[in-house]
Structure 1
Amino acid sequence: MPSIHDILTKAVALHNGGQPERAAALYRDVLAVEPAEPHSLHLLGLQMRRAGCEAEGIALMARSLLLAPTLAPALFNQARALQDSGRLDEAIAHFRRKLEVDPNCGVTSIVLGNEALARGRLDEAERILRRAAALEAGGAFASRLRRALERVTTARGIARDAADPSLPPGLVVRGAFRDSSGYAHKVRQFVRHLVDAGVRVRLVDLNHGDVDNLPDGQIDPLLHTLDRPVRAKAVLSFTTPLVVEAVPNLKTINYTVFEALDIPPLWAAHSRRHDHVVVATDSSRRAWLQAGHPADRVHICPEGVEPLEPGRVAPAAILDGTGRRLADYRVRILNVSDLNSRKNLEGLLRVWLRTTRAEDDAALLLKAGKGDGASGSIRDLLARLTAETGRTLGEAAPLFLVEGKLSDTDMMSLHAAATHYWSMSHGEGWDLPMAQAGAMGLTLLAPDHSAYHAYLNGRVAHMIPSHVTPALDGYRGRDWWTPDEAAAARLLRAVIDDPDGTRLSAREHLLEHFSWRSAAHRLIGLLGGLDAL
C-alpha cells in the first residue's frame, strides 16, 4: 500500500501537470487517512479556490496553517486568497508572516512595499522596496521595482509641493496618458479640457510597467509641458482601484469604471480606502453600491465625445488582402474591441457569419486589439465559428481587419470610414468608440445595458435586447449582460437591406449633453464640491 508521502508526491505531480481534479481526489485520500496532514489541506484548498469554491479553499488553508504556522507556501497562498476576498488587513498579516518565515522572498517584499505605497506610507514603502530591489537585482521584477521607487520619490515631491504656499493652487492628475488604451484617451481629453477651463494641472504618468506607448509626436504637446509643481489638495487618479496610491495629507480620488453588475471584493476593499470614487455612469455607481460602498463617496461624471463637423476628418483608406476597398460598400459597420471575452467578438462574428451574404453591399470593419498580432486570434476564432455555424467567411459579407496602435487622429479616421457602429459587448463602463461614433453621425447598434443607457436610447440608436448571465474569465463570480443574437441578426439584416430606412443619429444628443468640454466642467464642479480644488 502506498505511503502518505507517495500519494502526496503523485498528487503534487498531477497538480503541477494540469490535472487538478485527479490531484484533489488524492489530497482527499490522504486526508481520509490523516486528517491533520497540513500539505494536503493547503494544496486541496488551493485547488478548491481554482475551482471557484473560494470559502472552502480559505477554510482548508486556514486549517493547514493552524497545524503548520510556518508553512511558507500556505501563508502566501492564503494571503492571496484573503486579498481576493477583500480581507486586506488579514491578507497583509499573512504576507508579513510569510516574510518573517522566508525573509529573502522578493515577491512578498514587493507586495508589502506596494501595500505601503498604496496607503501613502512612503518611508516604509521605500525601505521594503529597496530591500526587494536588492533581492531581485537583475531579475524579472527589477524594472517594476525601479518604477515603484520612482513613484515613491514623486509622491514625496507632490506632498512637499502641497505644503508650499509659494506655489500656485492646482490639481495633480495621475494616469497613463501615452498609450492607445481607453484610460489613456480619457486622461488626455480630461486634462486638455481642464487646462482649457483654467485649472492648473500637474500630470503624472502612471508608470507601472514597460508599455508600448504612442510616439511623442502623436500626443498633444500640451501634455508634455504639465510637469510643473502645484499646491494641490488632492490627487485625481485615472486607473483601477487596485493600483491607486495615496499621497500623505492629500485627498485620494479615483476616476474608474466597471463593466459588470457589481465590483469584485478586492476592488471594493481598495475603493473604501479612497476618499472618493468617480465613475462615468449610473451603471458603474450601482456596481459600487451593490458592493457596499458608501453612497456619499461615489459620484458620477460622464466621459465625453469630441465635436467634429461632418467631413472634417478624412476617412481612412482601407483595403483587404484581395485589394477590395472598404469605401466601395454602401454599409460599412465598425467595431473596435480588445481581444477579450467581455467584448464578445465571438457573438458579433457569429451573428455576422449567420446573417450576412457575400452579395450584400456591406462590410464589417474590425479594429481588434491595441497592437499587432490580432489576425491570428481572429483567424482561430473564425475557424471555430465556421465549424459551429457551417458558414465560411467567403459566404458572408467581407471582413476588413485593422491591427496595430492607432493615434487619436487615426482612430477618428477609422470612424469616418464607417457608416455604422455595432457592439455586442457583455458590459461597458463607457465605450469611447461607440460614443464617438455617435457624435460623428454613424448609426449605432448598441446592447441595451450598462453604460449605453447613460447616453443612448431607442430614439437615437438601435438598442439590442440583452439579459443577465454569469460572467467569464477575469469577471468570473460576477454577472454581466449577453445581447440577444437573434435580435441582433434581425437588426443587422434590416440595416443592410434598408440603410436609409433604418438610419438613426445620436449626434445632436451626444454633442448637446456629452462633449468633453461639458465633461471637464462637470468634473471641476464635482471636485470643487469635494474641496479637492
Structure 2
Amino acid sequence: MESSIERAAEHYRAGRLAEAVAECRAYLRTAPRTPDALNLLGAALFTAGEDGAAVEPLREAIRLQPGHAAALTNLAVVLQHREDWAAAERALRHLLALSPELGFAHSRLGSILKEKGDLDRAARHLRRTIRLAPPSAQDWLNLGLVTLLNGEFAEAEDAFRRTIAHTPDGAYAHAQLGEIRLRLGRLEAAAAAFARALRLDPTARGAGDGLARCRRYAAAMARAEPAETASAGRGGLVMRGAFNRHTGYGHFCRRLIQRLRRDGVPLQAIGIVGPESWAEENLDPPVPARAVVNCLIPLATERVPGLATVTFSMFEGTRIPPAWRRQSALSDLILVPTESSRLAWEAQGFPAERLRICPLGVDPEDAAQGGSVAAPTLVDPNGRLVSSYRHRFLNISDFIPRKNILGLLRVWLRSTAPSDDAVLILKLGKGGGDAAMRAELGALLRLAEDGAGRRLAEAAPVNLIDRAMSDAEMTGLYRAATHYWSMSHGEGWDLPMSKAGAMGLTLVAPRHSAYVDYLDDTTAHMIPATVGPALLPGGGGYYPPFHGLDWWIPDEDVASGILTSIIRGDGAPKSARARLLERFTWERSAARLLAILDEAGLRG
C-alpha cells in the first residue's frame, strides 16, 4: 500500500494529476482512514482545478488527524481560493495553535483578514510574518497594501520602500509609493516614484494617472492664492471627484460643479484618477484658490501643498471605521451631508470643530420635465403590464448587503399575495447583471423565502431590472412607480429616495441615518429601526467595509404592516416633494459649501 501512495506522490510531483488522483482513490478504497492519502488527494484535486472536490478529503484528513499540518495548510489554501474566508481563517488559526511560529500561516491569515475587512488584525499578522523570518518583497508589499488601507501611511511608505529595496525593478511598488506620497502631500517625491514606475514598465497600473494628478496639482499650487492677497469671498476652488462615473459621489460632485459654475465661482476640476476631463465644458485650467474640496471617501483624499484639504464625504453606520478616522486626520475640514454622518465621525473621536454639515440637493429639474421623459414599458413575469397595477413600488440599489435586499424581499413575501393590485420594481446594480450576480440573487431569494415561510409564487410579482440605463431612462423608471421603498441598513444621503420624493412618489423609508434629515411622519411612511451589528445575510460574519461596526435594522413587522395598509387602500398618500424642492436644492447646497469655506477662511 505504501508503494501506491509513493506512486501517487511521484505522479503529483511530475504534474500527472489525473494519475495521482486515480492512485489516491484506489488506495483509499482499501484504506479509507489514511490522512496522508486524503491530504494528497485533496492537493491533487485542487492543483487540477477541482477546488470544490478538494475540500472534503482535506477535511476528512483533519478529522482523522487534527494535527495534520500539511492538510490544514492545504485546506486553508483551498478555502482561501474559494473565498470562504471564515472557514479559511479557522483552518489557519488551528494550524497556528499547533505551530505559532509559522510565518507563511501568519501571512495567509493576514491576507484573509484583509478580505474580511479586519484591517487592524490583518496588519498585526503581517507584521508577525516579517518578524518571524527574513521577509520577502511580497511580505513587505502585503504589509504596505494593508497599512495603506488602514490609514497608517508612514508605515505603508516604509513597507513599499523596503519592497523596492528587495526588488528595485518592481514597477507596482514604485507606483504604490507614489500613491502614499500623494496622500501625504509630498508632490515632488510622488512624481519621482510614478516616473520611475513608468520607466520600469510603461503600462504600470496607476502610474500614468498618478503622474497626471501630480501635474495638475502642481498647476493648482502655482495659482494658489496667498491669504494676504485674497479678495474676501471671491476666491476660486479646486474640486476633485469621480464626476465622470455613475456613482453617488460622482453625481453630487457633478451637480455641485454645475451649480458653482452657474454662480460664477472660479473652479478647477480634477478627476479621481487625474487625466480625465468633463466633456460638458472645459474645467481643466487652474484658478486662484486656497482649498481643494475632495468629494470622495477619506482614503482617496490627497493633499496639495499650499492649499487646504477639505473632504466632502459621508458614512452609513453609527460610527466610521478606525481607518477612516486615521485617514480623515489629513483633512483640515470634513464636510458631511447629514447629522448622522457628523455623529459617525464624532463617535470615532474625530474633532467636532473640524466637522461641518452641508446638505446635498435633489433634482427638481427632472421633476419639472413633466411628461417629457416617458415611463418605460415594463412587463411583469406573468406577462402583465406593470403600468396596469395600482400600487407600483420601486427600489433602486447597488447589489450590496447594506441595501438589505434580503429584508426587502422578505417583507414583500410576507405582505403580499398574487391577487394584490401591486408590483415591486427592483432595479439592482449599475447594469450588466452577470451570471454570478444572478446566482447570488437566487441564493438571497431562497434565504428570503425561508425567512418568510412563503415562496415567490405566493406573493405579488417582482419585476427585476439589472441592465444598464441612461439618466433619462432612470428618470422614466421613477415615473413608472407610485411609491419608493427602502429597507436599507444605513444611508449617507440616498439620492434615489430624495429624487423619488422630488418627483412626487410616496416614500416608505426606515427612520434612521440620512432619512431623518429630510423625512418625517408627515412626509413619508417611516419604519422604526434598531441598532445592531453590520452582519452579512445568511450568517457570514461582518460585512467587510463595516467590520466591527453597527448599522440600523429596520423593523420588518412594521414595514409589512405599512405595505399591507397601502395595498389594501388604508395608507393615505404622503408627499415629501414640497419640502425637498424648497429646502434641498443644489443652489442651497453650493451656497452652504461656499459659506463653510468662507467662514474657515479657505476662499479668500
Residue 273 (structure 1) shift: 0.4
Give the Cα–Cα distance (whole angstroms) in 2 for the partners of residues 335 and 40 of structure 1.
Answer: 44
Residue 65 (structure 1) shift: 3.3
Corresponding residue for 1:284? 341
Residue 184 (structure 1) shift: 1.6
Give the Cα–Cα distance (whole angstroms) in 1 for the partners of residues 120 and 286 of structure 2.
Answer: 47
Give the Cα–Cα distance (whole angstroms) in 1 for the partners of residues 116 and 581 of structure 2.
Answer: 47
Whether 2:183 is the aligned partner of 1:118: answer: yes
Whether 2:78 is the aligned partner of 1:17: answer: yes
Corresponding residue for 2:328? 271
Give the Cα–Cα distance (whole angstroms) in 2 for the partners of residues 309 and 54 of structure 1.
Answer: 46
SS in 1 for 2:223: helix
1:316 to 360, 368, 375: 375
Give the Cα–Cα distance (whole angstroms) in 1 for the partners of residues 109 and 581 of structure 2.
Answer: 56
Q: 1:477 to 1:166 in 2, by over 3 A?
A: closer
1:449 to 503, 506, 512: 512
1:373 to 433, 436, 442: 433
What CA RMSD, in Å, does the superposition of the two structures yield over aligned residues? 3.1
Residue 300 (structure 1) shift: 0.5
Q: What runs of 5+ residues in structure 2 fail to find an aligned partner?
A: 1-35, 37-66, 80-87, 535-542
SS in 2 for 1:225: coil
* 9-18 or 334-343: bigger deviation: 9-18
Give the Cα–Cα distance (whole angstroms) in 2 for the partners of residues 119 and 64 of structure 1.
Answer: 27
Q: What runs of 5+ residues in structure 1 fail to find an aligned partner?
A: 211-215
Whether 2:405 is the aligned partner of 1:348: answer: no
* Contact kept? 2:290, 2:602, Cα under 8 Å: yes
Give the Cα–Cα distance (whole angstroms) in 1 for the partners of residues 108 and 421 of structure 2.
Answer: 58
Q: Aligned residue pairs: how many?
A: 513
Aligned counterparts, 1:420-439, within 5 A? 420-439=483-502
Aligned counterparts, 1:200-349, within 5 A? 200-207=266-273, 223-307=280-364, 308-309=367-368, 311-320=370-379, 323-349=383-409
1:29 to 98, 102, 105: 98
Give the Cα–Cα distance (whole angstroms) in 2 for the partners of residues 151 and 174 of structure 1.
Answer: 10
TM-score by length of 1: 0.87
Q: 1:530 to 1:224 in 2, by over 3 A?
A: same
Task: Kindly provide the CA deviation profile for residues 296-323 of structure 1, in whole angstroms up to 9, marking residues without a partner as x.
Answer: 1111100011223483554412322554
* Contact kept? 1:336, 1:366, Cα under 8 Å: yes
* Contact kept? 1:194, 1:524, Cα under 8 Å: no
Residue 61 (structure 1) shift: 4.5
* Contact kept? 1:110, 1:132, Cα under 8 Å: yes
Q: Could you tell me which amino acid in structure 2 is paired with residue 21 of structure 1?
A: R
* Contact kept? 2:151, 2:299, Cα under 8 Å: no
Q: 1:14 to 1:195 in 2, by over 3 A?
A: same
SS in 1 for 2:193: helix
Q: 1:124 to 1:51 in 2, by over 3 A?
A: closer
Whether 2:414 is the aligned partner of 1:357: answer: no
Q: 1:398 to 1:317 in 2, by over 3 A?
A: same
* Contact kept? 2:411, 2:452, Cα under 8 Å: no
* Contact kept? 2:483, 2:508, Cα under 8 Å: yes
* Contact kept? 2:181, 2:190, Cα under 8 Å: yes
Q: Could you tell me which amino acid in structure 2 is paired with residue 400 of structure 1?
A: N
Residue 423 (structure 1) shift: 0.2
* 114-123 or 307-316: bigger deviation: 307-316
Corresponding residue for 2:583? 513
1:160 to 195, 207, 222: 222
Task: Kindly provide the CA deviation profile for residues 419-478 of structure 1, in whole angstroms up to 9, marking residues without a partner as x.
Answer: 111000010000011011112221110011111111111121111111111112321221
Q: Could you tell me which amino acid in structure 2 is paired with residue 107 of structure 1?
A: Y
Q: 1:118 to 1:380 in 2, by over 3 A?
A: same
Q: Could you tell me which amino acid in structure 2 is paired with residue 65 of structure 1?
A: I
Q: Could you tell me which amino acid in structure 2 is paired with residue 272 of structure 1?
A: A
Whether 2:479 is the aligned partner of 1:479: answer: no
Residue 338 (structure 1) shift: 0.2
Residue 243 (structure 1) shift: 1.1
Q: Could you tell me which amino acid in structure 2 is paired with residue 300 of structure 1?
A: I
* Contact kept? 1:313, 1:412, Cα under 8 Å: no
* Contact kept? 2:178, 2:193, Cα under 8 Å: yes
Whether 2:181 is the aligned partner of 1:96: answer: no
Aligned counterparts, 1:66-77, within 5 A? 66-68=131-133, 70-77=135-142
Corresponding residue for 1:213? none
* 112-121 or 429-438: bigger deviation: 112-121
Corresponding residue for 1:488? 559
Q: 1:51 to 1:420 in 2, by over 3 A?
A: closer
Give the Cα–Cα distance (whole angstroms) in 1 for the partners of residues 456 and 369 of structure 2.
Answer: 33
Whether 2:248 is the aligned partner of 1:191: answer: no
Give the Cα–Cα distance (whole angstroms) in 2 for the partners of residues 416 and 395 of structure 1.
Answer: 27
Q: Could you tell me which amino acid in structure 1 is paired with residue 573 of structure 2?
A: R
Give the Cα–Cα distance (whole angstroms) in 2 for the partners of residues 50 and 515 of structure 1.
Answer: 39
Corresponding residue for 2:245? 179
